[in-house]
Amino acid sequence: MRPRTLVLAAAALLAAPLLAAPAHATSAHAAPLGVDGPRTGFETSNGARWTSQPEEQKFLAEVDRAHGDVTVDRIGTTRQNRPLQLVRIGENRSTANTVLLICSQHGDEPSGREACLSTTRDLAAADDARTRALRRDTTFLIVPTANPDGRAADTRGNSDGVDINRDHIALKTAEGRALATVIRDEQPDVIYDLHEYGATPPYYDKDLFDLWPRNPNVAAGVHSEAKTLSGDYVRPAAEAHGHSTGTYGIWTDPVTGEPIKQTAGDGQERILRNASGLKHAVGLLIESRVDALTEQEKADEAFNNRRRVSSQLHALDGLLAYADERAGRIGAATAASRTAGLADQGPVYTGGADNDPAEPSETIADPPCGYTLDAAQYAEVGDELALHGVRAERRGSGAFVPVRQSMRALVPLLLDARAPYHLIAARPFEGC
């Protein structure tokens, strides 16, 4: 399926009608010309450097001032006092679906951040009929820099050295807590997580990799939609512009293309890609290749940088086409996922993945009806349960957490001693 391009001006040319040929920058493009609105530091330097934090603040403030359907809010503050910001684009707050972009969880992976910044401007500025309809029917939420301290230091982790993308269960970081709050309060239907990776030629060296939620507790409809987003939209959009694509974490034989081994991309619930699915969103991880592809890219870092950002932008075209064309199916899948837990049926898996069935020891075949927390336990994890959107009923000085609730699959993963990343070992309760 060939997706329609919905956002044409990004890092190269002016905003154009949505059904025209794509106008994203390729690695050979010069600086952008004619784009309405402010430019990022990356764009003004033609890819010679990444946008600084002060430039990002100025850029977002200008976009906010210029467009009535754009708001920029502070959703948290890092340890080094940098703002965590959320951009909202949309003409109303009762849209059919909400799409959340989370950019640069790893501070040394900047290309997705640049794509998010220019896409913020272009979604806000485009005045053609299709983009206006997209803004009317879909709310776009963008966290341009999910790890500002790491971006400033060019480090994977935050200023405490914590990998934010391993903190979506424990919620120990300010960054992880801010993202959890957005997901709980906004209930996005799609969560798109932008990253970069280091290649291992010839087995693992595509321009772009992606991966859906593999956690076996993710609802079937959400899992199916995430694979559709990948296979029918994001990959074709990137491939249409000459970018090679593949499945994140899977090494392949360079001759036959057959899988050789898996080195990453499992079902850990603490990773955003999987946490997204557990929280009823169609999640997709995107990874662009950092390493230079050609001799010209090796000789010219800016040339390489532009290719990295361009691949992210072309993949984003696929996301936007998906949001437009499958709005009804997306909404149906996420709504069904949110209500499935109320039936309180089926096992909960503490391990495994969609390509690695859980062992019997990783299967809670008949979950308890709830978990009891004493006063000390509730004091320790009550805030985190609330941030996850898990309902807890106060009982005396402690609390009871029923399994029958929208976040059913998440409850044992947070509170059962058998779950590898549990917050606390609460007491299973069978007497409901």
Q: What is the DSSP string of 323-375?
A: HHHTHHHHHHHHHHHHHHGGG--S-EESS-BTTBPPPGGGEESS--SEEEE-H
**What residues does 287 pair with on adjacent strands?**
195, 209
Q: What is the pTM of this model?
A: 0.93
10 Å Cβ neighbour count for 41? 19
What's the pLDDT tens digit per position in 50-105?
999 999 999 999 999 999 999 999 999 999 999 999 999 986 667 789 999 999 99
pLDDT band (50, 70, 90) for residue 35: low
Per the structure block, which two tokens stand in for 206? 């595509």
* Distances in whole angstroms, Cα of residue 29 to Cα of each of 10, 302, 313, 316, 420: 12, 11, 14, 18, 47
Cα torsion through 337, 95, 114, 297, rounded to 10: 70
Q: What angle do CA 322, 326, 329 make, to 5 degrees?
A: 135
Alpha-carbon torsion (258, 260, 264, 266), positive or negative: positive
The alpha carbon dihedral of 135, 138, 139, 142 has a sign of: negative
State the pLDDT at residue 93: 64
- Percentage with pLDDT > 70 across the chain: 91
Map residue 77 onto helix, strand or coil: strand
Question: How would DSSP label each residue in 244-289?
Answer: -EEETTEEE-TTT--EEEE-S----TTSHHHHHHHTT-EEEEEEEE
Residue 27 confidence (pLDDT) above 70: no
Between residues 5 and 165, the one the model is more confident about: 165
Can you tell me the distance from the alpha carbon of 233 to that of 284, in angstroms, rounded to the nearest whole number? 12
Give pLDDT, residue 151. 98
Q: Are 138 and 96 in contact (CB under 8 A)?
A: yes
- Measured distance between the N- and C-terminal CA atoms of the chain, rounded to whole angstroms: 49
Q: Per residue in 286-295, pLDDT tens?
A: 999 999 999 9
Backbone angles phi, psi at 216, to 5 degrees: -70, -10
Tell which residue, 314, 315, 419, 307, has the closest CA to residue 361: 419
Place of tokens 């349960």: 385
Distance CA 33, CA 237 (A): 23
The answer on pLDDT for 316 being more than 60 is yes
Which is more confidently placed, 203 or 127?
Answer: 203
pLDDT of 18 reads: 25
pLDDT score recorded for residue 90: 87
Q: Confidence band (pLDDT; 50, 70, 90) for 14?
A: very low
DSSP assignment, residue 390? -
* Maximal CA-CA distance, the chain: 68
The pLDDT value given to residue 33: 39
| Run of H or E including 181 | helix 174-186
- pLDDT of residue 34 exceeding 50, the answer is no
* 288 CB-near residues (< 8 Å, 6+ apart): 111, 112, 194, 195, 196, 197, 207, 208, 308, 311, 312, 315
In this prediction, residues 195-221 reach a mean pLDDT of: 98
pLDDT the model gives residue 13? 31
Q: Is the pLDDT of residue 11 over 60?
A: no
User: How much is the average pLDDT of 212-232?
Assistant: 98
Helix H, strand E, coil C: the string for 28-47 is: CCCCCCCCCCCCCHHHHCCC
Average pLDDT, the chain: 91
